[in-house]
Chain A
Amino acid sequence: KAGVTQTPRYLIKTRGQQVTLSCSPISGHRSVSWYQQTPGQGLQFLFEYFSETQRNKGNFPGRFSGRQFSNSRSEMNVSTLELGDSALYLCASSFNSGAGGYEQYFGPGTRLTVT
């Protein structure tokens, strides 16, 4: 089975611009979560989508948004980029592994640099 794919892998944007990142989950996985990884703040949860609905949201400003399509693919958008948005953005898809709960599988990430 193919893993989680994220596009693009690298992105350079200028302050004030907006950006859209894409994530294709593992086939059959219906939940997609997004995380931001920075050296200073570590790994922080952005939001989670299940069946096209946002089910959970982290503590990020409204400039960060996302959506999920009927094929479970997901996008996240960041508007009015700030220097502090430079980070590795990770997408994870998950399934219910039965009595053991959920397991999240991560993509390679999109490295966003804001200049």
Chain B
Amino acid sequence: GDSVTQMEGPVTLSEEAFLTINCTYTATGYPSLFWYVQYPGEGLQLLLKATKADDKGSNKGFEATYRKETTSFHLEKGSVQVSDSAVYFCALSANFGNEKLTFGTGTRLTIIP
């Protein structure tokens, strides 16, 4: 079945450091890929998405590129801020019309001033 493997956390970085959170997936066909972020006490917010190979999703300084050859969708940000502290989830949706999201385990990110 479909699965998402996400970099184990927690991750602690200093402000302005470079961030990478690794995500790889297993799926049949051509899934859509997503990154969601969850702040304490809140639901999930869609951060970015990519729907086909070589697509780059970007939002709020975060980027991720859909790499079909390595089945990866790593999240990056060039300079993190304290406000980026949250839990980040990588997810896939297998087919159009089948909206079930399969999530990774989540990576807790803490940014130190």
Which A residues are closer than 8 A to B by beta carbons?
Answer: 4, 31, 33, 35, 42-43, 45, 48, 55-56, 58, 90, 92, 94, 99-109
Q: Which of B80-108 contact A (CB under 8 A)?
A: 89, 91, 93, 96, 98-106
- Leading 4 A-B pairs by shortest Cβ distance: A106-B43, A43-B103, A106-B44, A108-B43
Name the residue of chain B whose CB is nearest to the CB of A6.
B43
Distance in angstroms between the alpha carbons of A58 and B98 in the assembled complex: 12
Interchain CB contact under 8 A, A101 and B101:
no
- Which residues of A are found within 8 Å of B98, using beta-carbon distances? 55-56
Summarize A's interface: helix, strand, loop or mixed.
strand
Given contacts A42-B106, A43-B89, contact A104 B43 (CB under 8 A): no
Distance in angstroms between the alpha carbons of A45 and B94 in the assembled complex: 13
Interchain CB contact under 8 A, A33 and B100:
yes
Given contacts A56-B98, A101-B32, A108-B42, contact A42 B103 (CB under 8 A): yes
Count how many pairs of residues, one from A and one from B, have CB atoms less than 8 Å apart in the complex.
59
Most chain A C-beta atoms within 10 Å of own C-beta, residue among B43, B89, B100: B43
Q: How far does the Cβ of A41 sit from chain B's closest Cβ, in whole Å?
A: 10
- Which residues of B are found within 8 Å of A94, using beta-carbon distances? 99
Distance in angstroms between the alpha carbons of A48 and B75 in the assembled complex: 27
Name the residue of chain A whose CB is nearest to the CB of B95.
A101
Q: What are 13 residue pairs bridging A and B, where the CB atoms are less than 8 Å apart in the complex?
A: A4-B43, A42-B105, A45-B101, A56-B100, A100-B32, A100-B49, A102-B32, A102-B93, A103-B49, A104-B46, A105-B46, A106-B45, A108-B41
B49, B89, B96, B99: which contacts A33 (Cβ < 8 A)?
Answer: B99
Name the residue of chain A whose CB is nearest to the CB of B98.
A56
Q: How far does the Cβ of B43 sit from chain A's closest Cβ, in whole Å?
A: 4
